[in-house]
């Protein structure tokens, strides 16, 4: 197989004569760029394939792909029929003139884009580092959202300081063009639902199997470089910090968690209460158990058992897992605070007071009963001592004591209460 043939395979192009000519010219330009000392950046951050990932993972608010170096020469000095090359974008339609006569004027532009893509992939392939990933073809998942997959390949990317690997996955489908790739944590070391969570840590579609594998490898390498701050779908850090020997103080937890935004304060907690309140008011089964049976008792179904776990899942509090001491501990306990310290998160004293009281009711109990217990705990005389420890956004002048006194025990009034609180927080006098 020639280099032009191989480039067509990677770029997902039919190896028609015009495609092979275009690939040969793209390789020529790529060789010139790779030999130019000014383009040493092509090897940065795992190679130029990062540019193709920007195209495949082009999410709102993120930078899109760049034209590869050499594009000007590529387009200015070629001797190709760009219209003929552009027809490849509409394969497998044979009678192009009959089927797309109205698009004939767009063919040269399509041809240019194919030529640029070939140069992009030539540079990506040349700068992709050799990796030890061992890909294995596996059976497609027989259940869930992946029932349309045709063939699946997987590989593992091991990480230091954790038993949780990164799982690389590529898959073809008869109902989708290209080859999908994704990386996710596990399956070792995380619950099954966390491993299968959507969206994965990174995902996209490559034009061919080798391209998708290379993009998955690059995504895994990138994720591994930032693994100490990477969080799984249930919000714990992929690589937890060592558990402190002493009981962490709430103020220290809050100060550390403020750097990462994982703080459950009173306002965030009360805003999260609307969902279970509305569920119970609709007549849904909205009962919770106590931590003694586990905040998260089942490692596979991803269903929280306590009110604390349910609110935490919605409000980005790192979940506890089966077998951990914190999984059966109250929120306001040393074991749970050590768990928060490991994952750079915090629950403020007032929020912890509410959740601990709400979770303390024995057996299955409806949300309304647990909410009443939580509000009663906030109104206990000693709770006033906790008010000064409640962090507030800059400019906010809420009277925490007044908020607690007016917090309704009637769950049908929670929605209006939160809306009013939000409106006052965001009003100009608080900015």
- Bridge-based pairing of strands 346-347 and 263-264 is parallel
* DSSP H helical ranges for 226-359: 250-257, 266-272, 274-281, 307-314, 334-342, 349-359
Report the distance separating Cα 349 and Cα 335, nearest Å. Answer: 15
Report the distance separating Cα 291 and Cα 307, nearest Å. Answer: 9
Report the run of H or E that residue 203 belongs to, with start and end. strand 202-206
pLDDT at 311: 95
Report the run of H or E that residue 287 belongs to, with start and end. strand 287-288
Strand, helix or coil for residue 120: helix
pLDDT in tens, the chain (431 residues): 899 999 999 999 989 999 999 999 999 999 999 999 999 989 888 889 988 888 888 755 566 678 899 999 999 999 999 999 998 877 654 444 444 455 666 888 999 999 999 999 999 999 998 767 899 998 765 554 555 568 899 999 999 888 899 999 999 887 778 899 999 999 988 988 899 888 899 999 999 999 999 999 999 999 998 888 999 998 999 999 999 989 998 888 998 898 877 899 888 899 999 999 999 999 988 899 999 999 998 767 789 999 999 999 999 999 999 999 999 999 999 999 999 999 999 999 999 999 999 999 998 999 999 999 999 999 998 887 787 776 655 444 457 778 888 899 999 999 999 888 877 766 655 44
Report the distance separating Cα 225 and Cα 238, nearest Å. Answer: 12
Length of the chain: 431
Q: How much is the CA Rg of the chain, to the nearest whole Å?
A: 28
Report the distance separating Cα 5 and Cα 85, nearest Å. Answer: 15
């Amino acid at each position: 197989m020639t280099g032009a043939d191989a480039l067509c395979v990677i770029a997902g192009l039919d190896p028609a004569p015009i495609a092979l000519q275009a690939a040969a010219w793209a390789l020529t330009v790529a060789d010139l760029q790779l030999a130019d000392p000014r383009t040493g950046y092509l090897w940065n951050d795992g190679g130029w394939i990062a540019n193709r990932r920007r195209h495949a993972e082009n999410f709102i608010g993120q930078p899109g792909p760049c034209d590869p170096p050499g594009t000007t020469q590529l387009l200015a000095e070629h001797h190709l029929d760009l219209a003929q090359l552009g027809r490849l974008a509409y394969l497998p339609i044979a009678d192009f003139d009959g089927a797309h006569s109205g698009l004939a004027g767009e063919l040269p532009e399509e041809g240019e884009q194919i030529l640029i893509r070939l140069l992009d992939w030539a540079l990506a392939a040349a700068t992709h580092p050799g990796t030890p990933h061992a890909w294995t073809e596996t059976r497609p998942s027989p259940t869930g959202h992946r029932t349309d997959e045709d063939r699946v390949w997987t590989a593992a990317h091991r990480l230091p300081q954790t038993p949780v690997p990164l799982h690389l996955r590529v898959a073809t489908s008869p109902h989708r063009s290209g080859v999908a790739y994704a990386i996710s944590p596990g399956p070792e070391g995380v619950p099954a639902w966390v491993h299968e969570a959507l969206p994965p840590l990174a995902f996209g579609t490559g034009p061919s199997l080798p391209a998708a594998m290379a993009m998955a490898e690059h995504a895994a390498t990138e994720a591994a470089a930032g693994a100490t701050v990477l969080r799984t779908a249930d919000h714990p850090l992929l690589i937890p910090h060592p558990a402190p020997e002493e009981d962490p103080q709430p103020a220290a937890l809050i100060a550390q968690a403020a750097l990462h935004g994982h703080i459950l304060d009173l306002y965030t907690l009360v805003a999260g209460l609307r969902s279970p309140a509305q569920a119970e008011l609709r007549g849904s089964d909205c009962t919770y158990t106590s931590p003694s049976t586990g905040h998260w008792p089942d490692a596979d179904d991803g269903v929280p058992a306590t009110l604390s776990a349910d609110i935490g899942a919605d409000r980005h509090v790192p979940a506890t897992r089966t077998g951990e001491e914190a999984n059966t501990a109250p929120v306001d306990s040393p074991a749970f605070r050590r768990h928060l310290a490991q994952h750079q998160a915090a629950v403020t004293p007032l929020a912890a007071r509410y959740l601990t009281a709400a979770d303390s009711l024995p057996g299955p109990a409806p949300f309304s009963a647990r909410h009443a217990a939580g509000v009663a705990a906030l109104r206990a005389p000693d709770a006033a001592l906790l008010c000064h420890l409640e962090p507030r956004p800059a400019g906010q002048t809420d009277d925490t004591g007044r908020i607690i006194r007016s917090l309704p025990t009637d769950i049908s009034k929670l929605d209006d209460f939160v809306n009013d609180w939000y409106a006052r927080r965001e009003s100009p006098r608080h900015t």
